[in-house]
Structures are given as C-alpha cells and as structure tokens.
Amino acid sequence: MANDAVASTVDETRMGSIVNDWSGDKQAFQVPWGKAMMWIFLLSDTFIFSCFLVGYMHVRISSSIPWPNPSEVFALSFGGEPIPLILIAIMTFILITSSGTMAMAVNFGYRRDKTKTVALMFATALLGASFVAMQAFEWTKLIVEEGVRPWGNPMGAPQFGSSFFMITGFHGAHVSAGVIYLTIIANRVRRGDYDKKGNYETVEIAGLYWHFVDLVWVFIFAFFYLW
C-alpha cells in the first residue's frame, strides 16, 4: 500500500509538472512553446504531402495511358533548341539558395546582429517570391500553350494535369505563405521587437518552416520531374 501511495504521488507530481509547463506558455518538455507547435504543424503537413506523393505514384503506376515525358513537357526553347527541365533546375537552385540565406539569418539572429538578420530574411523572401513567379509562368505555359487542365491532358494520361496542379499548387501555396511570414518577421526584427523580448527564437521558428518547404520541393522534384 505504501509503495502504491508513493507511486501515485510521483505520478501526480509528474502530471502537475507537465500541466505547469504547458499552461505556463513558456516551455513544454524542455522545448519552447512556439517551436513545439511549429514541429507539430510540420509533422501534420508531412503526412499531407506524403499522401499526395504516394497517391501520385499510385496513379502513375496504375495508368494504362502513357504518362507524358517530363523532359519534354517542362522544356524551354532558347534559340529554337529545347532545353529539358531548365526552368525547374533554376527554381530548385533558388529554393536551395534560400535555405542557405535563411540559415545565415538564424545564425545572425542569435548573434543579435539585427541588420544582417533583416537583410538575409528579406533576401530569402525575395528568392521565395521569385520561385512563385516562375511557378506561375510554368502553369501559364502548360495551360495556355500545352492545353493541360486538371480534368484532361492532350499529351497523354489525363491524371497528369490533376496530379501536377494539386501537388505543385499546394506546395506553391506554402511558399507564398512563407514569403508573407518571413516578411512579417523581418519587419518585426527591424523594429526591434525581439530585442525587447530578449531573444530571436521566432526567427529560428520561421526558419524551420522555410527549410521544411524547401525539403518538400526536393521530393516533388525527384518524384514528379525526374521520374
């Protein structure tokens, strides 16, 4: 009985500690509240993107109609000579570069170098906006010049259009949201909001979101454009 009472007391103490962590709005399980919430959001987003990509693979494998060749569909002509995937390669390079600028922004944020943090965050947002603009150009080319629609595709399997617009559109919406998010955080850094707060943790949380968006693109690039 005594052992049961001690065990019950220990359990109540642990539960009370957990409740205090979460209700205190500071840290939970030794992880800052904001960072924990971002990780939970990214985990849920991982499930969604995984479902989309697995669904795409299933549709493509089970399609009885030939799937369009990405090297031909996403080629751009320069001087009359088509270059396969040149636009996609540039878009990928832009996102990889933006991951580097975001990582440096986080680094300078923790050094309390406000000027460089703001400049690098705005640079990251500009690279993200460039990516979205190129994606809009890619969509326009497919819709206007190639006649691809979510419900049909003159170049082969009709599921190509729905898969392409759903996956790249969902990712593009994340990039667009990230551009807005980074711009807002950069403005707050510029105003000195986080100097008053005492840390630049929010910059790191924004960086987690941006790196996730960039990582997802690597999988989209591999499964959709290289396969």
| CATH number of domain containing 84 | 1.20.120.80
Q: Which domain holds residue 73?
A: 34-225
Judged by average pLDDT, the poorest of 27-41, 71-85, 91-105, 151-165 is 27-41
Is the pLDDT at 20 greater than 70, yes or no? Answer: no
Read off the tokens for 172.
């593009």
With respect to residue 10, please indicate whether it lies within any of the assigned structural domains.
no
With respect to residue 151, please indicate whether it lies within any of the assigned structural domains.
yes
- Region 2-9: what's the mean pLDDT? 52
Bridge partners of 28, per DSSP, are: 31
The number of distinct structural domains making up the chain is 1
- Nearest partner of 171 among 141, 140, 198, 131, judged by Cα: 131
Highest mean pLDDT among 9-13, 128-132, 159-163, 191-195: 128-132
Query: Hunting for tokens 């270059």 — which residue is that?
Result: 83
With respect to residue 92, please indicate whether it lies within any of the assigned structural domains.
yes
Angle between helices 114-140 and 159-191 (to 10 degrees): 160
Bridge partners of 32, per DSSP, are: 27
With respect to residue 162, please indicate whether it lies within any of the assigned structural domains.
yes
Helices (H) and strands (E) in the chain, counts: 8, 4
Q: In whole angstroms, give the CA distance from residue 17 to residue 28.
A: 9
Cβ-contact 71, 86 below 8 angstroms: no
Query: Which pLDDT belongs to residue 11?
Result: 55
Judged by average pLDDT, the poorest of 41-45, 147-151, 207-211 is 147-151
Query: Hunting for tokens 């050094």 — which residue is that?
Result: 111
With respect to residue 14, please indicate whether it lies within any of the assigned structural domains.
no
Q: In whole angstroms, give the CA distance from residue 79 to residue 37.
A: 50
Q: What is the widest separation between alpha-carbon atoms in the chain?
A: 87
pLDDT confidence band for 14 (50 / 70 / 90): low
Is the pLDDT at 13 greater than 80, yes or no? Answer: no
With respect to residue 25, please indicate whether it lies within any of the assigned structural domains.
no
Mean pLDDT in the chain?
86
Query: Hunting for tokens 């906006």 — which residue is that?
Result: 129
With respect to residue 122, please indicate whether it lies within any of the assigned structural domains.
yes
Is the pLDDT at 203 greater than 90, yes or no? Answer: yes
pLDDT digits (tens, 9 = 90+) for 164-191: 999 999 999 999 999 999 999 999 999 9
Query: Hunting for tokens 């950069």 — which residue is that?
Result: 186
Judged by average pLDDT, the poorest of 1-10, 68-77, 161-170, 195-204 is 1-10
Q: In whole angstroms, give the CA distance from residue 144 to residue 159.
A: 18
- Nearest partner of 167 among 68, 56, 74, 91, judged by Cα: 56
Of all residues in the chain, the percent with pLDDT exceeding 70 is 86
With respect to residue 26, please indicate whether it lies within any of the assigned structural domains.
no
Query: Which pLDDT belongs to residue 30?
Result: 65
- Region 30-35: what's the mean pLDDT? 76
Q: In whole angstroms, give the CA distance from residue 225 to residue 219.
A: 10
Query: Which pLDDT belongs to residue 173?
Result: 97
Question: Would the pTM count as exceeding 0.85?
Answer: no
Is the pLDDT at 6 greater than 50, yes or no? Answer: no
Q: Tell me the CA distances in angstroms from 212 to 71, 79, 96, 216, 222, one per residue in order.
A: 26, 37, 11, 6, 16
Query: Hunting for tokens 């000027």 — which residue is that?
Result: 115
pLDDT confidence band for 76 (50 / 70 / 90): confident
